[in-house]
A and B are shown apart, each in its own frame.
Chain A
Amino acid sequence: MRRLGPLLVEPTLEPSWTWSLTLSGLSIVGALLTAGFVFRAYGVEPLVAYRTLAEGTLFDARALPEVVRRTIPLLLVGAGLVLAFRAQFWNIGAEGQILLGAAAATWVALFSPLPPPLLIPAMFAAGFLAGALWGLVPALLRLRWTTNEVLTTLMLNYVATYAVEWLVHGPWKGPTMMGFAYTDTFPEAAWLPVIGPTRVHWPTLALGLAFAGFAAFLLGRTTLGFEIRVQGQNPEAARYAGIDAVRTTLAVACLSAGAAGVAGVGEVAGIHHKLLSPYQVSLGYGYAGIVVAWLARGNPLGAIPGALLLGLVFTSGDVAQVALRMPFRVTDVFTGLILLFLIGTTPLLHMRVQWAPQRGQPAPAATPVTPEGE
């Protein structure tokens, strides 16, 4: 236990959730302050910029549905990545898995002979499978040859990006699209229903919430979840306990990648109604999902507020583009900085800080006086 002015600091294994929320809040404030310097370097007064962004997002009722629709893919990706990171499987490839899910859904919508009522369920299933397969490759490579999955998942993002580019420029290019690099528009039976005049495709939102709940149940209440947690905390102990690393790794890889695939289905079936440039299908949700997972502090349900926050950041990106004439890239600065601050404050997470002013009293008798020269 150490005393810092009026504060008592002691190490703890189980941080309280108020303390972890405080640190997350401080990280966000830190990111906003730091991003202010970047704004100024770009030639926009940070205070003016933040006021414009807040007016365009927080204080504009029309912005709320936009925030929610950005939240949907972030939630699916983030909740899945919580599982993966808990097992120490560093899946950085959600971006590519989103694209694979989107491509698989497009195939079902445009080229499969399914009757219209089956289209949407089949698209979700195909998206999950395609994403999961894309995530399975690095998992198998790691299990068989210990190939570093950070690098393989990341490389596969580039492969997926060019694969989708090839599809929309080549074999799937829509004949009715007048030379644009899009596929044809999906039949209306393959459009996801939305809430009112918004772009909130609620089936995907429901799937995201259900997936977060399922992941929390899996992690907290099942044997497999227990094995995932042990595997992540202490692989050596897991091995001695007879926990099968193949099973846990494959499970988290398929679930996290499959959820990202479902997010991709939502983007093409709920928003665009066609497959288009990979940079428009996913605006970096795969990478931002890493931040969501980190904000969730290892709890899949924590991905819900985390995804909402990042959804807000992405919507601010839109506002920045229109109102401040800044490129959308500004969201990368925010998300990256939030992540950096979250990592930096993690050691503090395992400190319990108590407010305990001394009020001029002598130290309690139970505390031995430290001898000098210790």
Chain B
Amino acid sequence: MEATILRALAFGTPLLWAALGEIVAERSGVVNLGVEGMMILGAFFAFATAQVTGEPLWGLAVACLVGGAAALVHAFVCVTLRGNQYVSGIALGMVGLGIAGLLGRGWEGTPLARPLPEVSWLTLSGILLSVALWVFLRHTRWGIVLRSVGEFPAAADAQGVPVFAVRYLSVVFGGLAAGVAGGFLSLAYRPSWTEGMTAGMGWIAIAIVIFAGWDPLRAVAGSLLFGALFHLSFRLQGYLAPEALKMAPYLGTILALTLATARRGGRWQEMPEALGTPYVRGER
């Protein structure tokens, strides 16, 4: 039992970090479907940096920055150029997977010299971060400002809130967190580099955001649930074909998402009203 919980925590940590970042971005009204791309870039740059410097913490820092830089591109395209947020995110995912696959070719298969522990302060700080974000979004002035930008940007703008700056900061925060999530993958969870090692985790993190109703605290529960799902699909090895087990998390995501949406009659009260729509000043 204890082992199961520990494994669920290890699987859940990258999901939690990525989901928390996405919650902040989406609360400001910007969907970023490029989580997968930001995570894989984070994973690769974390691994390469840790391998060169010998210090995994440097790797984590670089992963964080790379994720943020990738998110900055998305913010520029969606907030400043007012491009389609969904497609821009998908494009970011492709570019991320492509760049990481290209640059990572020479690093394939080498184990990391000094990995980080699997369940560690990163897991704990993920949980602390979710509490902090919950307090921030609900009970602080700037948290309410951030949410108002996601609900009704024109009203926020009229109140003197810098809508564009808030959205930029939120999207970049999402990238920083996704970078950390990717770094955790290649530094702690599976201390090595393999192409495509994120295996759809970025998309599952986005599903967790919806599943958790854009609530950082419920994201902890969601990440643990999906972490347990990943773990159990490994535990069942020997009873079922390995391919059937590999499918389980993805089928589980579809099922969980559908059940959670159906339970609310298809309407998410918590979904930011302006989610996915670019803000144009002076237009209604």
Q: Please give the residue numbers on chain A whose beta carbons come within 8 Å of chain B beta carbons, in ascending order.
A: 38, 41-42, 90, 92, 141, 144-148, 150-152, 154-156, 158-159, 162-163, 165-166, 169-170, 287, 290, 294, 326-327, 329-337, 339-340, 343-347
Q: Which 4 A-B pairs have the closest CB atoms?
A: A332-B98, A336-B94, A329-B101, A336-B95
Report the bound CA distance from A294 to B87 in whole Å: 9
Contact of B210 among A148, A159, A339, A346 (CB under 8 A): A148
Q: Which partner residue on chain B sits nearest A325 by CB separation?
A: B105
Binds A, one of B3-11, B17-25, B180-188, B200-208: B200-208
Contacts A333-B95, A333-B98, A337-B95; is A147 near B84 (CB within 8 Å)?
no
Report the bound CA distance from A151 to B258 in whole Å: 11
Q: Which of B248-262 contact A (CB under 8 A)?
A: 250-251, 253-254, 257-258, 261-262
Q: What is the CB-to-nearest-CB distance from B121 to chain A, in angstroms, rounded to a whole number?
A: 31
Q: Please give the residue numbers on chain B whose beta carbons come within 8 Å of chain A beta carbons, in ascending order.
A: 33, 37, 73, 76-77, 81-84, 86-88, 90-99, 101-103, 105, 195, 199-200, 203, 206-207, 210, 241, 243-244, 246-247, 250-251, 253-254, 257-258, 261-262, 266-267
A327, B261: Cβ atoms under 8 Å?
no
Total A-B pairs in contact (CB under 8 Å)?
143
Report the bound CA distance from A337 to B34 in whole Å: 13
Contact of A42 among B90, B103, B247, B254 (CB under 8 A): B103
Q: What is the CB-to-nearest-CB distance from A88 to chain B, in angstroms, rounded to a whole number?
A: 10
Q: Which partner residue on chain A sits nearest B84 by CB separation?
A: A343
In the complex, besides A330-B98, A332-B98, A336-B37, 15 extra interface pairs with C-beta distance below 8 angstroms are A141-B254, A145-B258, A145-B266, A146-B266, A147-B258, A150-B33, A151-B210, A163-B247, A329-B97, A332-B101, A336-B92, A339-B87, A340-B73, A344-B81, A346-B83
Q: Which partner residue on chain A sits nearest B196 by CB separation?
A: A329
A332, B94: Cβ atoms under 8 Å?
yes
A154, B203: Cβ atoms under 8 Å?
yes
Q: Which A residues are CB-close (under 8 A) to B99? A: 38, 333
Contacts A146-B266, A147-B257, A336-B93; is A158 near B207 (CB within 8 Å)?
no
A151, B83: Cβ atoms under 8 Å?
no
A158, B250: Cβ atoms under 8 Å?
yes
Contact of B261 among A145, A156, A326, A332 (CB under 8 A): A145
A347, B105: Cβ atoms under 8 Å?
no
Q: Which partner residue on chain A sits nearest B81 by CB separation?
A: A344
Q: Which partner residue on chain A sits nearest B89 by CB separation?
A: A150
Report the bound CA distance from A337 to B95 in whole Å: 6
Q: Which B residues are CB-close (under 8 A) to A329? A: 97-98, 101-102, 195
Contacts A170-B241, A339-B87; is A42 near B102 (CB within 8 Å)?
yes
A336, B83: Cβ atoms under 8 Å?
no
B195, A158: Cβ atoms under 8 Å?
no
Contact of A155 among B92, B103, B200 (CB under 8 A): B200
Contact of B83 among A90, A165, A344 (CB under 8 A): A344
Q: What is the CB-to-nearest-CB distance from B204 to chain A, in angstroms, rounded to a whole number?
A: 8
Q: Which A residues are CB-close (under 8 A) to B195? A: 327, 329
A340, B257: Cβ atoms under 8 Å?
no
Contacts A155-B253, A343-B88, A347-B81; is A330 near B94 (CB within 8 Å)?
no
Report the bound CA distance from A343 to B92 in whole Å: 11
Report the bound CA distance from A158 to B73 in whole Å: 27
A163, B243: Cβ atoms under 8 Å?
yes
Q: Which A residues are CB-close (under 8 A) to B88? A: 340, 343-344
B258, A141: Cβ atoms under 8 Å?
yes
A155, B83: Cβ atoms under 8 Å?
no
Contacts A151-B257, A158-B247; is A290 near B90 (CB within 8 Å)?
yes
Contact of A90 among B86, B91, B101, B266 (CB under 8 A): B86
Contacts A38-B102, A330-B102; is A151 near B94 (CB within 8 Å)?
no
Q: Which A residues are CB-close (under 8 A) to B94? A: 287, 332-333, 335-336, 339
A332, B95: Cβ atoms under 8 Å?
yes
